[in-house]
Chains A and B, each alone.
Chain A
Amino acid sequence: MDKHTQLPSHLHDIRNRVEGYARAYGLDFFDTVFEVLGFDEINMVAAYGGFPNRYPHWRFGMDYERLSKGYEYGLSKIYEMVINNDPSYAYLLESNMDVDQKLVMAHVFGHVDFFKNNFMFRHTNRKMMDQMANHATRVRRYQDKLGVELVEDFIDRCLSIENLIDYQSPYVKRRPDRPDVEGEGAERQVAQGFKNEREYMREYINPREFMQEQQRKLDEEAARKKKFPERAERDVLLFLLEHAPLERWEHDVLSIIREEAYYFAPQGQTKIMNEGWATYWHSKIMTEKALDASEVIDYADHHSGTLATHPGQLNPYKLGVELWRDIEDRWNKGRFGKEYDECDSFVARKHWDKQLGVGREKIFEVRKHYNDVTFIDEFLSLEFCIQQRLFTFGYNEKHQRWEIMEREFRKVKEKLLHMLTNFGQPLIAVEDGNWENRGELYLVHKHDGVDLKLDYARDTLRHVQSLWRRPVNLHTKVEGRGTIFRFDGKEHSDRRADL
């Protein structure tokens, strides 16, 4: 059966036309299944992060309420949703006008091309639809056996730390295959005993029992010194899975949460690129090919709504699409490389055009090999920053309000990169799983100038403790001072500790 026939026939025709245009431009995407949903259904699917068969949890009900109310009150509306899967699934809002559906389809093909080709998605499970359903079955089974409340409580705690994964780990191999548990081999220290120049006296000065005792002490010492984990482990969830005294169902649920977190991570790490890419392609396909004259006004209205900016928010669609266009333009005109970079004549730079015409080629290459951090780092230029009128903002305690802080290029770029690095989350790693030899967990926050939200940190620590079962500690900085927060299962405490 042709699964595309689920679409009403006129949408089916539109779909085929738009797909043809997209392929002609060189986009390369998975087979894409479109489904038309009413607003209530689309809100529901969106609440489940795009997966209608996800495990049960109240948080999805909360997202559903937010989305439904936003729609009812006319504050927000989901036009479309795309699921990174092979085949990909895309949901269209039933009440959209045909021109919107056309635009959305073009947008969707952009996303799916990105999912298929960008390196960040190389390790994601393309059968996630099935996998999510499988997770749901497992969670339901535990709930049937143990009670909804118990399992949901545990999920609450897991969700509290779902951001403690290593966002780089799918791309970097840094754990040894099997840690050398015994610590044997060249490094092993051999007990020396008392100094002795006469070989025949050896048994008397360093009797065998004494030497064995010495050796045992040395080995013990070495084992204690040997760090556990050997290197700071940024995948805290993995560490807990491997070392926390979890029951089997708990282990399974935590691994589900971890797997889903890793699935969603690359989408978060390429938001600007991906939305920009889809927007770039929908506007190209619409304006050059697909748009009928009668649809221009509605198209323009919707398109400009997508790209609208508000002072205190960064619109990833807008920033993304402008950057893609900027890259294309620069590579078309040859505005890159040593000669261009070293040219300090303002006029010459302004009129620089070597007519290279390699822009299109360049953006296809960039969409393969970059993520938001490297994308911004490499392509956000001074000219772009001025032209797009970017600024940093912050909270002015004195005036009790949010204010524009800086317009200086370096500051803007720095702030932007900081917001994107590690998904905008604090870097927290397991430094020691047997802290002070008492089986306590010792986490370290790599402080880079921004303090943690402390009340949240304490409550999160409480949740970590409930998984680890022994006291847990977190080292961070508060207003410049090193501090260790501790939760021992009963109460919180904190003390100063500069490293």
Chain B
Amino acid sequence: MSLKIKQDHARFRDIVRGRIKSNLKKYVQKGEMVGKKGKDFITIPIPTIDIPHFRFGERSQGGVGQGDGEPGDPLSPGDGQAGSGQAGQGEGQHILEVDVPLDELADILGEELALPRIEPRGKDRIIATRLKYTGVAPSGPESLRHFKRTYKQALRRQIASGSYNWRRPVIVPVREDRRYRTWKQVPLPETNAVVIYMMDVSGSMGDEQKEIVRIESFWIDTWLRKHYKGLESRYIIHDAVAREVDRDTFFHTRESGGTMISSAYKLALEMIETEYAPTSWNVYPFHFSDGDNWSADDTRLCVELLQKRILPAVNLFCYGQVESPYGSGQFIKDLKETVGPRENVALSEIADKDAIYASIKTFLGTGK
């Protein structure tokens, strides 16, 4: 019975990976599962293939709901779309909503995007190990004897040999019944990491662009936090000059004026050199912009800073170019030609919200 679904499942995975059925490729979508983190709803990517039907446009249809609120009040994200009436055919499916812990979210993300484990730099120096109980075995030290499993085993033996008497349910384990916990040594990076987020806040970085950066940085934080015991995040915004801000300001500032990307790089470098010595810190600078720099000269300066001073000091430098209707998008081309081939550089163009997951994979898929 289970073999059968394996075939259909394998076929579905093949289609998603584009190996067969190119005609379905365009219907492969980033479906979502909704989990909850505190008050926020977190969507977990899960691929679906939508066979087209004649159906209503969701937005023009709307629906009926139940609960508090006045006309004009927003529904929380994650609600809405679902609607009702077409609840499907599988009877009796109770959907539960649960809180998902952060590191589980990271696991889910890792699995969905097939992200590799990060290998911190200077592994020999900073790895620690930890014991983790992983199973049960028939031998081991007495202090780790698993009482329940031992008695279960004894019961099983007694029933099998016909010596169990339900009127007098006495179970006596013998030597072979004993079961012990076993463990594994799990390498645990004991070390710290810092993410330095830099963002261009010129006028072209609108709300939608910032939302993209916000979602992406949430996942980056979550993923890195899974791999490092301590994670610090620092935020730099820049137009023609750069300054450090708190997280909130980072995502809400909107300015305009010229753009000198080098200003941000200089500030980040200063931070790294004074506070995060590469010998004891894993450093992750992320820079988001729409790709419009003030001048070719400044771009040259950026490349020079990267090549000579930043890249040797960091695990991974990531540049995400968020598409905006105004930017020329030149910067990523310049980076591609100069630092692009370096192995600790990841460049990604993010066209819209749907492109976030692919971009995360570009950034974190390097395992650096």
Within B60-117, the residues touching A (CB, 8 Å) are 60-76, 78-98, 100, 104, 108
Q: Is the CB of B93 within 8 A of A404?
A: no
Q: Which residue of A lies closest to B71 (CB)?
A: A404
Q: Is the CB of B94 within 8 A of A77?
A: yes
Q: Which residue of B lies closest to A267 (CB)?
A: B89
Judge if A81 is at the interface, Cβ distance under 8 Å: yes
Q: Is the CB of B66 within 8 A of A44?
A: no
CA distance A278 to B104 in the complex (A): 35
Chain A 379-406 interface mask (CB, 8 Å, partner B; 1/0): 0000000001111111101010111111
Q: Is the CB of B1 within 8 A of A41?
A: yes
Within B155-182, the residues touching A (CB, 8 Å) are none
Q: Is the CB of B31 within 8 A of A403?
A: no
- Asked, given contacts A75-B33, A311-B76, whether A52 binds B1 with beta carbons under 8 Å apart, the answer is yes
Nearest CB on B from A295, distance (A): 18
CA distance A407 to B93 in the complex (A): 29
CA distance A327 to B146 in the complex (A): 56
**How many residues on the B side are at the interface (Cβ–Cβ under 8 A)?**
74
Judge if B46 is at the interface, Cβ distance under 8 Å: yes
Judge if B308 is at the interface, Cβ distance under 8 Å: no
**How many residues on the A side are at the interface (Cβ–Cβ under 8 A)?**
106
Q: Is the CB of B80 within 8 A of A393?
A: yes
Question: Which of A59, A65, A267 counts the most chain B CB atoms within 10 A?
Answer: A65
Within A49-71, the residues touching B (CB, 8 Å) are 49-50, 52, 56-62, 64-66, 69-70
Q: Is the CB of B90 within 8 A of A389?
A: no
List of B residues within 8 angstroms of A319 by Cβ: 66
Q: Is the CB of A49 within 8 A of B89?
A: yes
Judge if B20 is at the interface, Cβ distance under 8 Å: yes
Q: Is the CB of A75 within 8 A of B97?
A: yes
List of B residues within 8 angstroms of A423 by Cβ: 85-86
List of A residues within 8 angstroms of B44 by Cβ: 69, 73, 75
Q: Is the CB of B46 within 8 A of A406?
A: no
CA distance A306 to B94 in the complex (A): 6
Judge if B35 is at the interface, Cβ distance under 8 Å: yes
Q: Which of A78, A162, A392 contacts B63 (CB 8 A)?
A: A392
Chain A 356-397 interface mask (CB, 8 Å, partner B; 1/0): 000000000000000010000000000000001111111101
List of B residues within 8 angstroms of A162 by Cβ: 53
Judge if B15 is at the interface, Cβ distance under 8 Å: yes
Judge if B24 is at the interface, Cβ distance under 8 Å: yes
Within B212-271, the residues touching A (CB, 8 Å) are none
Q: Is the CB of B82 within 8 A of A450?
A: no
CA distance A103 to B236 in the complex (A): 56
List of B residues within 8 angstroms of A405 by Cβ: 62, 71
Q: Is the CB of A419 within 8 A of B85?
A: yes
CA distance A192 to B69 in the complex (A): 74
Judge if B339 is at the interface, Cβ distance under 8 Å: no
25 contacts between A and B (CB under 8 A): A50-B90, A52-B4, A61-B7, A62-B48, A74-B98, A75-B95, A76-B95, A81-B90, A81-B92, A111-B92, A153-B21, A153-B23, A156-B51, A271-B87, A305-B96, A316-B87, A389-B66, A395-B58, A404-B65, A445-B54, A451-B60, A452-B54, A452-B55, A454-B57, A456-B53
Known: A76-B96, A423-B85. 7 other contacts (CB 8 A): A66-B31, A69-B44, A78-B92, A163-B54, A310-B97, A313-B65, A445-B54
